[in-house]
Amino acid sequence: MLRNFLLACFCLSLCPVSSTFAQRNLKDIPLPDPAEEQATFVLPEGFEVNLFAADPQIAKPIQMNFDARGRLWIASSSVYPQIEPGALSNDRILILNDEDGDGVSDSTKVFATGLLIPTGVEPGDSGAYVAASTELLHFIDHDGDDIADERRIVLSGFGTEDTHHILHTLRWGPEQRLYMSQSIYIHSHIETPWGIKRLNAGGIWQFRPETLELDVFARGWVNTWGTHFNQYGATFATDGAGGEGINYAVPGASYATAYGASRILRGLNPGSPKHCGLEILHSPNLPEDWQESFITNDFRGHRVCRFVVEEDGAGYTSREQQELIKSSHVAFRPIDIKMGPDGAIYIADWYNPIIQHGEVDFRDPRRDHTHGRIWRITYKGGPIVPREDLTKLSTPELLARLSSNNQWTRHLSKRVLTERGVAILPDLKAWARSLDNTAPDYHQLRLEALWMYLALDVPEPELLQSLLESKNPSARAAACRVLGDWLTDIPQHLDWLQARVHDEHPRVRLEAVRTLARCHDANAVSIALEALDHDVDQWLDYALWLTVRELQPQWQPTLPTGQLAAARQPKHLLFLLKSAGSAEAVPLLFDLLTTKGAIDDADIPEVLETLVQFSRPQDLTAMLDYALVSGTPEARQAQVLSVLNATAERRQLRPTGDLTRCAPLLKSASTSVREHALRCIGQWQLAALRSEIDAAVAQSDAPAHVRLGAITALSAFKDDAAVQTLVMLIGSDQDLVTRRGALLALLNLRPQQAASLAITFLNQLQDQPQASQPVIAAFLAKKEGAKLLAAALKDKQIPKDIAIIALRQVSSSGQEQPELAAAVRASGGVSGDAIKLSPEEMQTYTAAVAAQGDPARGEQIYRRESLNCMKCHAIGTAGGQVGPNMLSLGATAQLDYIVESLLDPNAKVKEGYNTLVVATDDGKVFSGIRLRESDRDLVLRDAEGREIAIPLDSIEGQKNGNTLMPAGLTASLTRQEILDLAAFLAALGKLPDYTISPQPIVRAWETMQPTSEASTHLRRTSYASAATEPNVFQWAPRIATVKGELPLGELPEIGVKNRVAAGSRGVSFVRCQIEAPADGKVQLKFGDIAGLQAWADDQPINLAATVDLTLSPGPHRITIVVDRSERNSPVSLGL
Amino acid sequence: MNLLRLATCLSLLTAWPLFSHAAPLLKSGDRIVLLGGTLIEREQVEGYWETPVILSASFPVTWNNLGWSGDTVWSDSRGMFDPPAKGYERMLEQIGQINPTVIIIGYGNSEAFNGPGSLDAFKKQYAKLLQDLKGENRRFVLLTPTPMEASEIPGQSPEQQIARASHYNASASQYADAIAALAAETGATLVDLSPAFSPASGDLPMTDNGITLNAFGYWKTGQLLSTALTGSTPDARVLPAPTMTSVSPRIVSEDASPTERLRAVIRDKNELLFHRWRPQNFTYLFGFRKHEQGNNAVEIPQFDPLVQELEARIQSLKPAP
């Protein structure tokens, strides 16, 4: 590292650098020589790469697509990221042609110019569709000279709030609709003859150029820079900022960040780096085991990644494999990937040491505007598909190409056929009839025929029906989706879909359920809910939820009439109502709740929440009366009372009639019933029962939750007597929970008085500083609360540990509370501001990191619990979700950025990690990272990783706050420790030991906590009880190192009397969860098994370095005991 | 096809008995702002509204297009990361900075998709917009929404085309009536664009897709607007109709007419204005990530002198009367 640094200094001294240049850590800017770049590429055995095209012929390729003549079209922008005043918008669309078929481009033509940052190009309709700024353009070449003669604005009104988010990723779907994406910051408003189409935030558009019909296919993601379809039309996407790898896109579904979505689907590889582009391999050039592999680019980590995607229930699983290309070249930026006409894989290399403009200045001089490469990858010895101009083929010849095993041939033949229009119908019909029904691809070819009919907008019910009943489930699933486009042409569509809702294959059921959402008919929802009579996995559950919500305008009016078939099936009705609540539904739902056995226990919380959201006063009255009827089970009484309490608190609604009739509930034997009854009396402010509350507050031997309920109820009366009681309690010798509860209740009534009493209270917590957290949190969550606390702290002292915890809370609240932070520091004697370095100091600092920082020591510091790094950040799949994933930080961020982020976290905040501070009309303040917003709630994620839903109509104001990363986090670290930590972060994704390997390995573990109960229980039973009675013990999460190991030194050691001999060491227990696939076959790679015993669920494992097990599909727990006397090396578990 | 277009027009003639002012409205030094949805936004591409007005006015005026695709009287397209109400405030602020003397408003095309049921809300909000935009000596020109051109709706049978266009036009004509009433109430000038949809022989289609005006559509409606604003419109020999409906090339040949050279500069100016008031990367320049790259926002006002330079060229290229 030192040598590199010296080398860099030497290089710098040779270059004429400006002063801004010198301020940055520039040591890795390489020479733009393609040969030098190519030399860094590492490919799997048997693959080779060659340069297809490079600068100066091309510059900054953003998207590429092949046409039916085999030529490669490129959208290229030198203007990105922002047009400079006085500069011309002169970006271009280029056509590259490998005329002699030797794998190297021979000519480059400028097809169109004068563009402003074109981000997508897809050839078609005698020219090409181009995404540029606010517009989707169509350029036409009338005379065949490869220069556009005509430019038409096809659609306009796409947002431009971020130039790497603007309309992108153009691709013809299998049915020849044009799919295109926009990213999270974009807001689009597009006028079409079919109305105004709006899409806020990210999503994939589906567009039919022939009719200008424009729809949103799926919503969400940060940057959907890759979309593709498998051979049966199942849809997939990758995300250039999302980190969940391959995404299975269910029609109409929402994914992370979707605007207005109250529920989302996740990607198939959580914890992945950012990915750009997506291709599915089909080529005679490639080995058999590479066919149908998914390929996408980790442009930050300089890698081209490969995944194997397999069917799993109604969805898919995805496993990462060895990379197609791995490089250490900092300017290698693979961003698009396509299969070529010759069966080779083509990769667009944007070539830039600086990758985007959010974190690095628009005009950073290191930003490259002139280079770019197209790389071509082939398998040595694999056949190269001969060059063919599809536009010259006859229609029967093109139809024959639909069975080609070369993706380009099959896909582009469909394009040519589509552009020939309805003239191909006789040939298409003849071809579809002539297909060999014994051939393995028979069903797939019939599906291709069906898609051709759809592309030409000619309904073909007979073919569709036969595909709906075909032997191939993927073809049936695809046919369900096609039926959605022909609903008006096929009157019996509900019958056809009903049969598929009962299909034996879950993905067919899913597609049928989604197509039913397009049938605007109340019967459609009842049919869809019949899917509940079969197994329902997460994908199908989501699809059904979405369909129920989308059809609400149709089914809701039928609820009171009793006409809805689904209402006669408790299971169906429950799903309907918990998915899409409505006031009319409340009596039906409440009936279910009170019918023994109608609702599974697991569904109860959702049912209660639905009741809270939609109950009317008459419903609440019925609930109260039900709670009062003798014979009502206590658990139900408590649940109903909790609904009444929450409805009063959140919606200010209460039952009718004399509410004091609830008094008998205060005598219940159930403490939960008593607690909730007390809370209700408070919410309803029943003065007649005030004495009962006072009595409950005074009852010091009652369980804590009952007492807190009484205290809350008391404070609801807001009078002087209540205040006096609370003040008395705070100063009493009662237990801590009671005193703290009284203090927090007082905060709502007499904030100033509460602030002053809080100081005394905090000073009583010398021995248990963590107990101060709820107090600080309550002041931060109260308007003006922080100011009051700061004033009360003036000239007072508090314990230092409490001050440190309080500062962390202030920082991680995302609120700027400089007064409170200063007061806490002064009172607790702590310092710890953000450290701002001058450019010179930064240079010294980064040099010191390179020279003295030790990543191995740095990783240990990173893993310290006191620093909380792992609580908020993940490296790969395991860790907190509050902050950005650190997976390839070192490979993507410059050292000065890393150092600055540690010392002054607010200087630059990663996109999507600014907090939002929200004030509500009841005087509360919430802060966290905005996760999503539905029509009802805004959902934030707080520093603890919790989701907080805030009802939209309660929001008074919101503003952007700081990062959740606490400033002064490093105050407790020495300078050397900071250098080590920075060195570790800089090594992530860059040095092999600090790069997450694609080999699956367990990263999220739990360790048994060394409590005396654990020791005692283990002494009485055996170590196996850790596996057979896991709930007896306390477990805490522990994350593996980047290499995937659990260092033993970090594991709590448990001494077990009579089991561990004097002088020898104790044992540690760790456990993790694994997922068995559909066939149940699991391989566990323990490696060195010295000192280990293990169990799969409660069954012992016969240990070996590698163990093969057959388990039932689904999650399983692996528990391992480590004998610390026999083992010193870390524990790991590969899969 | 002609029959279809005739059908569209006949329904318009009966439903839209509107007329426009004949007296010239513009004065020397007028600062004109255009506000509206797609109809306004796309005007800047060809300059076929601005060019005849510049040519017909015997004095200098400036022209600022603040159209936003899909926009409504509620500023539905202008919210970006905020609710539309915030975008509405920003729009008022932007107009305040320009301090126009004339505001040309083209709303109603988006709203007409919502049907007559939403007409009252539209009228109320349009009146509020006029009230909020009011200024000393400020004149208003209200445009009627353009009708749907049945023959140009793509991918439909003639019956489907007529059904779709009649349905939309029945709604749009009611929105047009409401705008006419508002103009009468507030003393604004009404410009009815529908007469341009009565095809003369040799006319090209007015729209690309039934709803969005193409170059010819702007050229033809531009005559109506120029007459309303200046009292006259240039002879077709001075400003000939475009011969293609697609976007005309940006490079003007050496032997181009003075009018074509003028129109080219107008288009360049419009592009610069667009970078000025609706720059890309709003998120980083002015939005919630401005703490990162907001320093680059200094570049945006640097478009002002460039716009002024082209405004001066526009005046210098104007042929002597």
Q: Which two tokens stand for residue A644?
A: 């009444």
Hey, are the CB atoms on B70 and A84 less than 8 Å from each other?
Answer: no
Nearest C-alpha in A relative to B45: A153
Q: Which of A660-664, A923-927, B3-7, B245-249 has the lowest mean pLDDT?
A: B3-7
| Mean pLDDT value across residues B183-198 | 96
- Separation between Cα atoms, residue A941 and residue A914, nearest integer Å: 11
* Residue A101 DSSP one-character state: S
Hey, are the CB atoms on A82 and B79 less than 8 Å from each other?
Answer: no
Residue that wins the pLDDT comparison between A840 and A509: A509
Nearest CB among A150, A191, A914 relative to B288 is that of: A914
pLDDT surpassing 70 at residue A130 = yes
pLDDT surpassing 50 at residue A17 = no
User: What pLDDT does A652 receive?
Assistant: 93
Hey, are the CB atoms on B109 and A191 less than 8 Å from each other?
Answer: yes
Residue that wins the pLDDT comparison between A1070 and A938: A1070
| Architecture in CATH of A839-994 | Roll (2.30)
Hey, are the CB atoms on B278 and A960 less than 8 Å from each other?
Answer: no
Hey, are the CB atoms on B155 and A166 less than 8 Å from each other?
Answer: no
Residue with tokens 């004030």: A919
pLDDT surpassing 70 at residue A10 = no
pLDDT surpassing 60 at residue A23 = no
Write down the mean pLDDT value for chain A.
89
Closest alpha carbon to A771 in A734, A816, A732, A739: A739
| Mean pLDDT value across residues A147-152 | 95
Q: Cα distance from A173 to chain B (closest Cα, Å)?
A: 19
C-alpha distances out from residue B104 to A810, B66, B98, B266, B304, Å: 51, 10, 14, 18, 22
| Mean pLDDT value across residues A13-36 | 55
pLDDT surpassing 70 at residue A436 = yes
Nearest CB among A161, A195, A909 relative to B113 is that of: A195
Residues of A whose CB is below 8 A from B86:
none
Q: Cα distance from B299 to chain A (closest Cα, Å)?
A: 7
Nearest CB among B42, B280, B292 relative to A160 is that of: B280
Q: What are phi and psi of B186, to 5 degrees?
A: -100, -5
Hey, are the CB atoms on A157 and B295 less than 8 Å from each other?
Answer: no
Q: Indicate the pLDDT class of residue A1057, thresholds 50, 70 and 90.
A: low
Which DSSP string do the residues of B119-149 spell out, in sequence order?
Answer: HHHHHHHHHHHHHHH--TT-EEEEEPPPPP-
Q: What are phi and psi of B38, to 5 degrees?
A: -60, -40
pLDDT surpassing 60 at residue A273 = yes
Hey, are the CB atoms on A153 and B284 less than 8 Å from each other?
Answer: no
Nearest CB among B110, B278, B292 relative to A196 is that of: B110
SS3 label, residue A495: helix
Q: Cα distance from B260 to chain A (closest Cα, Å)?
A: 18
Q: Are A69 and A124 in contact (CB under 8 A)?
A: no
- Separation between Cα atoms, residue A63 and residue A118, nearest integer Å: 9
Nearest CB among B81, B148, B293 relative to A361 is that of: B293
User: What pLDDT does A625 receive?
Assistant: 94
Hey, are the CB atoms on B280 and A163 less than 8 Å from each other?
Answer: yes
Inter-chain CB pairs, A–B, below 8 Å: 144
Closest alpha carbon to A222 in A121, A347, A356: A356
Q: Cα distance from A356 to chain B (closest Cα, Å)?
A: 11
Residue that wins the pLDDT comparison between A79 and A4: A79
Q: Can you name the residues that pair with A150 across neighbouring β-strands?
A: A140
Q: Counting beta carbons within 10 angstroms of the beta carbon of residue A1014, is it exposed (0 to 12), middle (13 to 18) or buried (19 or more)?
A: buried
Q: Cα distance from B256 to chain A (closest Cα, Å)?
A: 18
Q: Cα distance from B185 to chain A (closest Cα, Å)?
A: 29
Q: Indicate the pLDDT class of residue A8, thresholds 50, 70 and 90.
A: very low
Single-letter code of the amino acid located at A745: A
Single-letter code of the amino acid located at A1054: I
CATH homologous superfamily for the domain A34-379: TolB, C-terminal domain (2.120.10.30)
Hey, are the CB atoms on A192 and B306 less than 8 Å from each other?
Answer: no
User: What pLDDT does B105 receive?
Assistant: 98
Nearest C-alpha in B relative to A912: B289
Preceding omega of B321 cis (within 30 degrees of 0): no
Nearest CB among A82, A151, A911 relative to B289 is that of: A911
A348-390 pLDDT, tens digit per residue, is: 999 998 887 877 889 988 899 999 999 999 999 999 999 999 9
- Separation between Cα atoms, residue B273 and residue B284, nearest integer Å: 19
Q: What are phi and psi of A1069, to 5 degrees?
A: -120, 135
User: What pLDDT does B23 receive?
Assistant: 63
- Please measure the distance between the N-terminal and C-terminal CA atoms of chain A and give it in whole angstroms: 33
Q: Are A855 and A1001 in contact (CB under 8 A)?
A: no
Nearest C-alpha in B relative to A911: B289
- Separation between Cα atoms, residue A769 and residue A808, nearest integer Å: 13
* Residue B210 DSSP one-character state: S
HSE on the CB side for A1042, CA within 13 Å?
26
Q: Counting beta carbons within 10 angstroms of the beta carbon of residue B203, is it exposed (0 to 12), middle (13 to 18) or buried (19 or more)?
A: middle
Q: Are A1035 and A1009 in contact (CB under 8 A)?
A: yes
Q: Cα distance from A638 to chain B (closest Cα, Å)?
A: 41
SS3 label, residue A683: helix
**Which runs of consecutive H residues, i.e. helices, occur in A350-441?**
395-401, 407-420, 425-434
| Number of other CB atoms surrounding residue A110 within 10 Å | 13
| Mean pLDDT value across residues A603-613 | 87
A610-661 pLDDT, tens digit per residue, is: 899 889 999 999 999 999 998 899 999 999 999 999 999 999 999 999 999 9
Nearest CB among B69, B164, B284 relative to A189 is that of: B69
Q: Which of A233-237, A315-319, A1064-1068 has the lowest mean pLDDT?
A: A1064-1068
| Mean pLDDT value across residues A476-484 | 98
| Mean pLDDT value across residues B207-221 | 96
Nearest C-alpha in B relative to A187: B80
User: What pLDDT does B1 receive?
Assistant: 42
Q: Cα distance from A912 to chain B (closest Cα, Å)?
A: 9
pLDDT surpassing 70 at residue A413 = yes
Nearest C-alpha in A relative to B147: A193
A200-213 pLDDT, tens digit per residue, is: 999 999 999 999 99
Q: Which two tokens stand for residue A549?
A: 């919500």
Q: Cα distance from A966 to chain B (closest Cα, Å)?
A: 18
A67-88 pLDDT, tens digit per residue, is: 999 999 999 999 999 999 999 9
Global pTM value? 0.75
Those residues with Cβ within 8 angstroms of residue A657's Cβ, 6 or more apart along the chain or in another chain: A621
Q: Indicate the pLDDT class of residue B13, thresholds 50, 70 and 90.
A: very low
pLDDT surpassing 60 at residue B11 = no
Nearest C-alpha in A relative to B152: A193
HSE on the CB side for A63, CA within 13 Å?
29
Nearest C-alpha in B relative to A421: B155
Residues of A whose CB is below 8 A from B303:
85
User: What pLDDT does A14 receive?
Assistant: 34
Q: Cα distance from A176 to chain B (closest Cα, Å)?
A: 15
Q: Which two tokens stand for residue A121?
A: 């190009």
A213-246 pLDDT, tens digit per residue, is: 999 999 999 999 999 999 999 999 999 887 789 9
| Mean pLDDT value across residues B41-51 | 96
Helix axes A720-730, A704-716, angle to 10 degrees: 150
Nearest CB among B80, B212, B295 relative to A161 is that of: B80
Which DSSP string do the residues of A934-983 spell out, in sequence order?
Answer: -SSEEEEE-TTS-EEEEEGGGEEEEEEEEESSPTTGGGGS-HHHHHHHHH
* Residue A326 DSSP one-character state: E
Hey, are the CB atoms on B299 and A85 less than 8 Å from each other?
Answer: yes
Hey, are the CB atoms on B280 and A166 less than 8 Å from each other?
Answer: yes
Q: Cα distance from B110 to chain A (closest Cα, Å)?
A: 6
Query: What torsion do the CA atoms of A460, A463, A464, A468 make, to the nearest 10 degrees?
Result: 170
* Residue A1133 DSSP one-character state: -
User: What pLDDT does A805 receive?
Assistant: 77
| Number of other CB atoms surrounding residue A587 within 10 Å | 16
Annotation: CATH topology of B2-248: Rossmann fold (3.40.50)
Hey, are the CB atoms on B38 and A191 less than 8 Å from each other?
Answer: yes
Hey, are the CB atoms on A161 and B69 less than 8 Å from each other?
Answer: no
- Separation between Cα atoms, residue A268 and residue A320, nearest integer Å: 10
- Separation between Cα atoms, residue B135 and residue B114, nearest integer Å: 31
Nearest CB among B282, B292, B299 relative to A359 is that of: B292
Q: Hey, where are the domains in chain A?
A: 34-379, 459-558, 839-994, 1004-1123
CA angle A762, A767, A770 (to 5 degrees): 65
Hey, are the CB atoms on B296 and A162 less than 8 Å from each other?
Answer: no
pLDDT surpassing 70 at residue A972 = no
Q: Indicate the pLDDT class of residue A840, thresholds 50, 70 and 90.
A: confident
Hey, are the CB atoms on A211 and B71 less than 8 Å from each other?
Answer: no
| Mean pLDDT value across residues A481-489 | 97
Hey, are the CB atoms on B42 and A156 less than 8 Å from each other?
Answer: yes
Q: Is B103 left (phi over 0), alpha (psi -120 to 50) or beta?
A: beta
Hey, are the CB atoms on A161 and B282 less than 8 Å from each other?
Answer: yes
Q: Indicate the pLDDT class of residue A694, thresholds 50, 70 and 90.
A: very high
Residues of B whose CB is below 8 A from A911:
289
User: What pLDDT does A493 receive?
Assistant: 98
Hey, are the CB atoms on A358 and B79 less than 8 Å from each other?
Answer: no
Hey, are the CB atoms on B154 and A193 less than 8 Å from each other?
Answer: yes
C-alpha distances out from residue A725 to A693, A740, B38, B188, B320, Å: 11, 13, 65, 68, 90
Hey, are the CB atoms on B155 and A208 less than 8 Å from each other?
Answer: yes
Residues of B whose CB is below 8 A from A114:
250
Q: Which of A36-40, B32-36, B117-121, B290-294 has the lowest mean pLDDT?
A: B290-294
pLDDT surpassing 70 at residue B283 = yes
pLDDT surpassing 70 at residue A199 = yes
- Separation between Cα atoms, residue A810 and residue B285, nearest integer Å: 29
Q: Indicate the pLDDT class of residue B3, thresholds 50, 70 and 90.
A: very low
Q: How do B31-36 and B102-106 pair as beta strands?
A: parallel
- Enter the ipTM: 0.94
Residues of B whose CB is below 8 A from A84:
299
Residues of B whose CB is below 8 A from A457:
155
Which DSSP string do the residues of B74-123 spell out, in sequence order?
Answer: T-TTS-TTS-HHHHHHHHHHHHHHH--SEEEEE--TTGGGG-GGGHHHHH
- Separation between Cα atoms, residue A526 and residue A520, nearest integer Å: 12
Which DSSP string do the residues of A1019-1084 spell out, in sequence order?
Answer: HHS-TTHHHHSGGGS-EEEEE--TTS-B-GGGSPPB--TTTS-TTS--EEEEEEEEEE-TT-EEEE
A898-927 pLDDT, tens digit per residue, is: 888 888 877 777 767 777 888 888 778 787
pLDDT surpassing 60 at residue B124 = yes
SS3 label, residue A18: coil
Hey, are the CB atoms on B246 and A152 less than 8 Å from each other?
Answer: yes
CATH homologous superfamily for the domain A459-558: Leucine-rich Repeat Variant (1.25.10.10)
Q: What are phi and psi of A808, to 5 degrees?
A: -60, -40
Closest alpha carbon to A263 in A810, A931, A971: A931
